Structure 1
Amino acid sequence: MAGYAAMVRLFDARRVRAALLAARVTAPTPDDHETDPVFVDLLDTPFETVDDAHDRLRALERRLRAAGDRRAVFPTIYTRMTHAVRAAIDDGRFADPEWMRRYTVTFADYYRRAFLTFERGAYAAVPAPWRVAFDVAVAGDALVAQDAFLGINAHINYDLALTLRDLGIDPRRARKRADHDRIDDVLAGLVDAQQAALVDLYAPGLSAVDATFGRFDEAFSLFSMTEGRAWAWRTAAVLTDVRAAPARAVTRWLHRAAATGGARVIGSPPIDPAVLAALRRVERDRLSLDGALDALTDHLDAASGT
């Protein structure tokens, strides 16, 4: 019965709303995206160790940035996350360091497979949350914040539960859960550094937007990383404890659909296109924030006929 009670807790209002949005997600095939054999060679084999995952993610990020490919935004964040988790493992911050090494490698491998599948052009086989993230990044006209949170959404709200299911959360579930939760503290210490990296590498005006609107990144994060990670654990627990096929099928549907609906919200937020256009110019340091506000005021006046 505990497994079914945990399953009921998965159906919070926000997840259900996001899941219902998933049916409205469209996945256009990129017309001008060509497979890069260097990416294929780099990601063709599974990650073997934490060091291997970190080094190949860093190489991927550097090549994407050199090519001006906005898919670089997520690995910029993710490489730093992987580095920080590796340091925490080496520092003895986890009760089960070997499980955490396998956790880190298995988690990274979900991203590797999604990227590789997309790069090879097998678009229908790419998990839907990643498909939205990659499509938006390849188009290159979203906010950097959107690219960042589309990747975070797909990796945490989709990949993480599957990672935990694959690894197994038993035996010593409580100890493994405590180690899983300790990563929240590691990630919390990276927020400012990651935002600084995005400012330096992609969006010089992002800090101005963030300072004005107050944690601008939250506007594009349907669920916080901490909440998403907790929900991933609950999902993995249900998939572990509940054996009835219909219940497992419903859990898998909610897991996939909520992450896909979340991608839709992040990728196509309910914001006036003129507002997004102005924010893109601010983010890229091509327009001051005051100038953007003036432009938006003019737009709203024109729209209202005043």
Structure 2
Amino acid sequence: MAEKKQTIVIKKIIVQGGGGHGGSWKVALADFMTALMAFFLVMWIVGQSDQTKKAVSDYFSTPSVIEYNFQNFGVELTLEKLFLDLLNEPLKAFQSFMEPMDKTPNLLDMGSAKVVAAYMADQMNDVAKNVVVTPEGFDFDIPDYMLFERGTSQPNANFVQVMDKIKGVTAGLKDAEIKLTSGLFVQSVPDSSAMTANRVASQRLDIVRNKVSASLESSTVTVSGAISVKEKLGEVDPKKLVGFIKVKIAQKELTSDGRKQRKLESMFGEQKVDMSVYDNFVHQVSTRRKEEAHAKKPLKQQVDDELKDAAKSPSSLTE
């Protein structure tokens, strides 16, 4: 009897996973996490103080410093200010990319004299006269007829509007000195007497000084004042005599925490008409660096370098 052969059966089992379902669950999870973060952020803001809420609101409702500068001062001045900030205060420069523009800026902290001049021209062009910007600060005059009735210390209809413009310049200052001078001609007061002119000038000074002091946001600013009463020589029409309120703003030598103040600088020189704004910027930056490097050399080496440059350009010897 033949033996039965045992049949060997091989069973192959293939295990398959559930699959990734196309990855759509990841999108849903990301949306859920974003909504959850937004929820917790809103809950955190609700529990904060009014000051914190205002800071968050200002961040999303106002442009950054860089955006503000581009819109108001143009590309050239914004590049100059940014470059000067990077040279002097790099951390502050990078921070300014994110910071919202302060509604009451500290002009002495702008770093660029040209930006200060541009701001004054933009904000007070129809009010301020004789604007002068120096590395230490700036000053300007306000004609008395823009603030007071002629020959008196009675504020006129433009007083509030003009003082608001002055407030926009002075309110945000820190570690600064504001010097006010009330100027008046003797013949401009009704009785043309020196006593009356001195009294009117003093009253005008007190009114403006009190307004400026009340608007300051920092206690590190000092406000002082003086009067200047003069007699106009010759025959004059009192109605044509113009007095003034002079506002002189300067940095204090040191900040309240003992640091040396940063001066207002001007980096850009003459523009080349055949260059774009950016090419001018690069050219002027390189020129400034060469001048700074040249100034650090000994005097003899400076003279030798100038003679070499003159030899390379013969035309300069005949000028």
TM-score, length of structure 2 as denominator length: 0.25
Bigger share in helix = 1
Which has the larger Rg?
2
**Greater RCO (Cα-Cα under 8 Å, separation 6 or more):** 1
TM-score, normalised on structure 1?
0.26
Relative to its length, the structure with more strand (as a share) is 2
